[in-house]
Structure 1
Amino acid sequence: MSYEFLWYIFLDVSVIIILLFSNLESRKIPIRQSRYFDGVVISQILFILADLLTRGVNYDGGRYFPAPVLWLANALFFLLFLLRSFFFFGFSVIVATADDTCRKVMIRIGKILLVVMSALVVSSYWTKAVFLVDTNGYQRGWFGYIVYAESLILMLLPVICLQKNRRKLRKRLRITTEFYIALCELGVISRILFGHHLMMSVFGSLAIFIIFVTYEHPRYFKEGISDCFSEEAMVQTFEEWVGQREYWMYCFAIQNFSEMLEIYGRYQMDQAVRMISEFIKKRYPGHYYFYTNQRFAILSDKPMNFDFIRSSLTERFRKPWVNEEANVFLTLSQFAVHNYTNYENGMDLVQSLKIILERREDVTDELSTEITDEEFSIIDRSLQVKKRLNYVVRRDMAELFLQPIINAQTGRLVGAEALIRIRDEDGNLIYPSEFIPVAEKNGAIISLGTQIYERACRFLSQHQETLGLTWLNVNLSPIQCMDETLPDRFCEIAKKYQVPTSLITLEITEEADIDFRKLSVFMQQMMERGFTFSLDDYGSGYSNISRVKNLPFRNIKLDKEIVWDHLRYQTPLLPQVIHSFQQMGYSITAEGVENEEMADVLSLYGIDYFQGFYYSRPIPVDEFVGKYSK
């Protein structure tokens, strides 16, 4: 036996042993890609053994073994070669094809070819098509290269898929996939050209190593602290499970995680997460476990006893998570899901589960139950709004609506408030109360606010003189006020449309968690550029006169609730507030004016401006221009 032969064997066996132990050391996510990778590894091992076996029995013309043994050994070699080729093909199709229907069709084609070619190999006992065994030992048949040709052609199909979906795949993944496919093809070609070498097995093992490093390494689907599967792994699992396999899932989250992090510190919380992970794996074995941030999930395709899990988890969380340095006391929110399938993809379902846990942040564990379809419907709406918001922002589709501001003494139009509106896929308006909180949370309010501001500037440049507008109010989110690039950006946009910044009043709602110092600096920067400010929704919660006077507002807008409460209960607060602000030099706008009686009463208090449905609801620009043009 040559040194070259021994080197090939050593290299093959070394790579396979490493991959086998890496592949078996931990449980893998239950998806088709992982199953096909397991198939690739196992079929490669069996193929190497079969290759060595055939070389042994075929040695010296096979004169040391009877003909049936020679035939069985060579048939096994070809069958395992076909099986190996199929698993390589199937895995490549899965990672290269974005469309699930196309993926299933191609894998079905691969299975059909596997059956047909396997039948051809077996029939060679009679037909001598692929190989034959005679007095001279093993001989290639009249159709001897068909098995190799089928493998070469089959592996070209994923390459076509890669080129078709090149924009949907990251460049690194596309290049490495093409590289390992090329190694597989080179291995088959080397077998055809240099049949007495073991180069094909080496090429195959190297291809498997690249697949493992690129797609199957635990770092891609495991969360490091808990050693549970990651959120991305959950998404991939649901992509295949939802609608195809019945499932049971129990989710829970550590409540007030940020506060606990401040109390106990990162190290202690990481230790607690590890102990929680170990607890659920031991207490509820045989399932799949996921973790991301403070959220855990236990998933199974077999029935789960939700009541038992809830009671045992609740009982365990009543005790501290003890390590050598601290006793960590935690509380949890939790719920169960059984086979909810009204989603088009796994990402939507995972996002909905996260929203449910957020909504249940303050729910006690004793009240947690299985999620109902009604609750999922509410979450579905929230998710659809979020997706539509992202779509609108990306395509610059936000609409400008305007609501008039009326001079309380003359009853004439003097200004307007610019308001953001977005529509769903059917063209229906989505309520601001639905999309504004989402936009503020995910940061989309920055882009959304800029879009509306630019539309407001365009509107002023076209219609300000015609309508006789003295100013236009534009709302700013507290998040926008923290954007250091906003002052220059807003100035550039106003300059683009030749709109004096003095025509624009920025409305701000002061909130409890806003940085007062940063807000003051921001307002000063904007005032230096010619903008003025109005305090929106005064009386709705946090703002008070002592804080307001320390900020450079020129106008105070009274929240409609404080106006309605006064007219409903005749409380003395509203007149006092109006008088105090007037004494301090502010102009006053009353929001929520809905009828003539309200306007008459508020006029007696010296209100400067009115805004409300009595004059007009927020309307599109064209309608506003048509209604108020001189």
Structure 2
Amino acid sequence: MWDYSFAIPSILILAILLINYFMLQRLPIRVNKNFVSLLLIETAVITSDIFSSWACENYQDLPKFVVVSSNMFYFIFFILRAYAFFVFTCSILELEPTENQFRTFLCRLPMIITEVVTLSSPFTKAVFFIGSTGYQRGSLYNIIVLNFAIYLFFSIQSTVTFKSRLKAKRDFFGILFYLLILLVGLIFRIMFPRYLMMDTFCVMTIISINLLFMNPEYFIERRTRLFNSEGLRIILQDTTRQKYNTIFAFVIRHYQEAIEIYGAKQMDVGIRLIGLYLRRILPKEKLFYYRSGRFVIMTKSNVDVPAVIKKIEERFKSPWLSDNVELYLEARFVEVSPDYEMYDSDIVINTLVNALSKANNSTDKSHILVGREMFDTIQNNTAIKRALEKAIENNKIEVFLQPIMDAQTNTLVGAESLCRIRDDKGEIISPNKFIPIAESNGRINQLGEQVFEKTCKFISENDMSALGLEWINVNLSAAQFMKKDLASDFSKLIERYNLRPSDIHLEITEAAIVDDDIMDNQIQSLRQKGFLFSLDDYGTGYSNISRLKHSPFSNVKIDMSLVWDYCDNPNLLLPMLIEAFKKTGYSITAEGIETKEIEETMKSIGCDYLQGMYYSPPIPMDEFIKKYTKSS
């Protein structure tokens, strides 16, 4: 006699969970599909469990094939349920089955073997059989319990192995929590087989999953009731999503200015009205609100996108009414090519945001088309960002040295430290690519600090006189120049490596001189510590002799653009400029020396030092030592 008292409420709970699932707006992603499958399989397990138990109690009054079939269905779903819990766990861990087909086959093998053994039972009596006294367990009955235990073990092992894929610690402990409930249920199944409590523990697990992982509000934007930015990221990275052929998006032009004009409260209502409008005209498409007035729409192939865009543009020609206030807003559109499916979700989103920013700032009302070229650019920039982060975090910034020659003797007198980073293949990334990124993401300070310290270490570990070096120049960025504790930080490093401050000359570009007072105060602090200064890239900014004559620079580096321009079209301007600088007390370095002719020309107009590819490109420190120690 079996006790059904635990099973009936479980079916009612599952029914409520199913109704709740389909009533709420959800993303069509793998984890959601697997959860629905889990609900349906669990419902089938409990229903077949009740029916097969009833059939076993009444085996004498029922045809044998009904009793056998009902038990067969129950065991099939019971076995499938164990695998379904494992598959759901993998989807939470973002493990893609197609990543490793062989591993996927091995994971399915216990289920396949157990199903085959179970299906053979009417002939082999392996798992169960119906005898003269009714239902009887077969010699291999425990294989179904073993199958459940195997998938429980697989789930625990996968969670521990791939926990780094989880976004938060709570997800890790959440998975372990519901797996613990399954383990307790399995123990009850073994110890109390006549009580249908295993089903109850499985339902408890599903309830826990629903509370921990299936809250759709996490992906819903509050005002518009559209999916939010996290929802967009999730659906783009889900490989089993329904195919959406086209993505297009629009941004409310000058959104922040609109907030200042109409007020935040009115604009919130406006955003909500736009969301309602989109839901009305595109009820079956996936709609997202990506913050700051940006809307993203994912459509299927049967949608006439140009017609939809035209319809939305026409709507924006009329005001949006908010509490009797008319909001006059303008939208700019971006269309994404189907090539987006070739790229990572973060690349797609970053490219989309970048394109919307361009559309927002453009005076041209035409739509921006996001194609493969734009995706590749963002992908390359993302790879550079990662390489930069990796190099900084692991102290892997490399310092290359480029020689500075004495114009009178043509001998090595100094060098300039230049930073380099490498990509995953070990190839050098151009500084023109990673320096702007370091400046924009705030990493330029850490980068500059590593270059300065590694230069100090190089000087302390090598005989400068044997190399012919009197000093090494180190560049200061505008961000570094703003640091109030820069002088003390550099001074501590100089003391740590037992150097003289004059061993290092600090190069400051004209672009870094954003404020005369800040420049004077910072340079004064550094000069008090004994550092000397060189003005880099002169001719690319707005400095002049009148402005610089009161500045404590000892050297001015003429930018290569001025050098090349003079060599192509000689005139009196550059020689007079150099003469004026030298009379004011500055020494002069000419950059961009690439040929013998440029060298001779710069010597003839009075340059003191020369630097450029004619002498050497920037080279690693060890190569620099070999090259110039030999020459000395």
TM-score (ref. length: structure 1): 0.82
Cα distance in 2 for residues equivalent to 1:476 and 1:263: 41
Cα distance in 2 for residues equivalent to 1:19 and 1:548: 75
Measure how far apart 1:485 and its partner are. 5.7
Query: Aligned residue for 1:503?
Result: 503
Task: Say if 2:32 is the partner of 1:28.
Answer: no
SS at match of 1:185: helix
Measure how far apart 1:377 and its partner are. 4.0
Partners of 1:93 and 1:103 within 8 A in 2: no
Q: What letter corresponds to residue 422 of structure 1 in structure 2? A: I
Query: Aligned residue for 1:248?
Result: 246
Query: Aligned residue for 1:445?
Result: 444
Task: List per-residue Cα deviations over 1:480-503 (Å, max 9, x = no partner).
Answer: 334456544433333332222222
The 1:318–1:610 alpha-carbon spacing in structure 2 relative to 1, beyond 3 Å, is: farther
SS at match of 2:475: strand
Task: Say if 2:88 is the partner of 1:88.
Answer: no
Q: What letter corresponds to residue 531 of structure 2 in structure 1? A: F
**1:204-243 alignment to 2 at 5 Å?**
204-218=202-216, 220-224=218-222, 226-241=224-239
Cα distance in 2 for residues equivalent to 1:596 and 1:256: 54
Cα distance in 2 for residues equivalent to 1:615 and 1:466: 19
The 1:581–1:331 alpha-carbon spacing in structure 2 relative to 1, beyond 3 Å, is: farther
Query: Aligned residue for 1:368?
Result: 367
The 1:369–1:150 alpha-carbon spacing in structure 2 relative to 1, beyond 3 Å, is: same
The 1:339–1:584 alpha-carbon spacing in structure 2 relative to 1, beyond 3 Å, is: same
Q: Higher mean Cα deviation, 388-397 or 63-72?
A: 63-72
Cα distance in 1 for residues equivalent to 2:580 and 2:271: 54
The 1:240–1:374 alpha-carbon spacing in structure 2 relative to 1, beyond 3 Å, is: same
Q: What letter corresponds to residue 492 of structure 1 in structure 2? A: K
**1:446-461 alignment to 2 at 5 Å?**
446-461=445-460
Task: List per-residue Cα deviations over 1:201-235 (Å, max 9, x = no partner).
Answer: 33222222332343332355445555444555444
Partners of 1:334 and 1:365 within 8 A in 2: no
Query: Aligned residue for 1:560?
Result: 560
The 1:436–1:136 alpha-carbon spacing in structure 2 relative to 1, beyond 3 Å, is: same
Task: Say if 2:420 is the partner of 1:418.
Answer: no
SS at match of 1:403: strand
Within the candidate set 37, 61, 65, 2:35 is matched to: 37
Cα distance in 1 for residues equivalent to 2:484 and 2:587: 28
TM-score (ref. length: structure 2): 0.82
Cα distance in 1 for residues equivalent to 2:340 and 2:195: 54
SS at match of 2:334: strand
* Unpaired stretches in structure 1, ≥5 consecutive residues: none
SS at match of 2:438: helix
SS at match of 1:418: strand
Cα distance in 1 for residues equivalent to 2:398 and 2:284: 52
Q: Higher mean Cα deviation, 543-552 or 228-237?
A: 543-552
* Unpaired stretches in structure 2, ≥5 consecutive residues: none
The 1:202–1:310 alpha-carbon spacing in structure 2 relative to 1, beyond 3 Å, is: same
Partners of 2:476 and 2:506 within 8 A in 1: yes
Measure how far apart 1:425 and its partner are. 4.5
Cα distance in 1 for residues equivalent to 2:49 and 2:600: 97
The 1:298–1:503 alpha-carbon spacing in structure 2 relative to 1, beyond 3 Å, is: same
Partners of 1:125 and 1:132 within 8 A in 2: yes
SS at match of 1:155: helix
Cα distance in 1 for residues equivalent to 2:219 and 2:406: 62
Cα distance in 1 for residues equivalent to 2:18 and 2:242: 30
Measure how far apart 1:392 and its partner are. 3.2
Measure how far apart 1:88 and its partner are. 0.8
**1:77-226 alignment to 2 at 5 Å?**
77-96=74-93, 98=95, 100-101=97-98, 105=102, 107-109=104-106, 113-114=110-111, 117-118=114-115, 121=118, 124=121, 128-132=125-129, 138-166=135-163, 169=166, 171-218=169-216, 220-224=218-222, 226=224
Q: What letter corresponds to residue 158 of structure 1 in structure 2? A: S
Cα distance in 2 for residues equivalent to 1:24 and 1:515: 61
The 1:546–1:23 alpha-carbon spacing in structure 2 relative to 1, beyond 3 Å, is: farther
Task: List per-residue Cα deviations over 1:237-274 (Å, max 9, x = no partner).
Answer: 44443999674332445556566666666555555544
The 1:626–1:102 alpha-carbon spacing in structure 2 relative to 1, beyond 3 Å, is: closer
Partners of 1:94 and 1:103 within 8 A in 2: no
Q: Higher mean Cα deviation, 195-204 or 176-185?
A: 195-204
Q: What letter corresponds to residue 534 of structure 1 in structure 2? A: S
The 1:206–1:551 alpha-carbon spacing in structure 2 relative to 1, beyond 3 Å, is: farther
Partners of 2:29 and 2:241 within 8 A in 1: no
Cα distance in 1 for residues equivalent to 2:466 and 2:91: 61
Cα distance in 2 for residues equivalent to 1:357 and 1:19: 39
Partners of 2:472 and 2:505 within 8 A in 1: yes
Q: What letter corresponds to residue 533 of structure 1 in structure 2? A: F
Q: What letter corresponds to residue 435 of structure 1 in structure 2? A: F
Cα distance in 2 for residues equivalent to 1:472 and 1:538: 19
Cα distance in 1 for residues equivalent to 2:76 and 2:240: 34
Partners of 2:578 and 2:588 within 8 A in 1: yes
Task: List per-residue Cα deviations over 1:419-476 (Å, max 9, x = no partner).
Answer: 1123344554322211211222233333322222222112222142223433221112
**1:584-595 alignment to 2 at 5 Å?**
585-595=585-595
Cα distance in 1 for residues equivalent to 2:452 and 2:317: 51
Partners of 1:132 and 1:140 within 8 A in 2: yes
The 1:624–1:331 alpha-carbon spacing in structure 2 relative to 1, beyond 3 Å, is: farther
Q: What letter corresponds to residue 443 of structure 1 in structure 2? A: G
CA RMSD in angstroms comes to: 4.2
Task: List per-residue Cα deviations over 1:571-594 (Å, max 9, x = no partner).
Answer: 666466556655665444333344
Task: List per-residue Cα deviations over 1:298-335 (Å, max 9, x = no partner).
Answer: 33464554433443444455555553356253443513
The 1:614–1:292 alpha-carbon spacing in structure 2 relative to 1, beyond 3 Å, is: same
The 1:384–1:31 alpha-carbon spacing in structure 2 relative to 1, beyond 3 Å, is: same
Q: Equivalent pairs: percent with the same residue?
A: 34
Q: What letter corresponds to residue 155 of structure 1 in structure 2? A: L
Q: What letter corresponds to residue 154 of structure 1 in structure 2? A: Y
SS at match of 2:420: strand
Cα distance in 2 for residues equivalent to 1:171 and 1:628: 54
Cα distance in 2 for residues equivalent to 1:9 and 1:543: 85
SS at match of 1:624: helix
Cα distance in 1 for residues equivalent to 2:591 and 2:42: 74
Query: Aligned residue for 2:537?
Result: 537
Q: Higher mean Cα deviation, 537-546 or 241-250?
A: 241-250
Partners of 1:250 and 1:336 within 8 A in 2: yes
Partners of 2:229 and 2:291 within 8 A in 1: no
Cα distance in 2 for residues equivalent to 1:569 and 1:263: 53
Cα distance in 2 for residues equivalent to 1:475 and 1:49: 74
Partners of 2:7 and 2:46 within 8 A in 1: no
**1:270-289 alignment to 2 at 5 Å?**
270-289=268-287
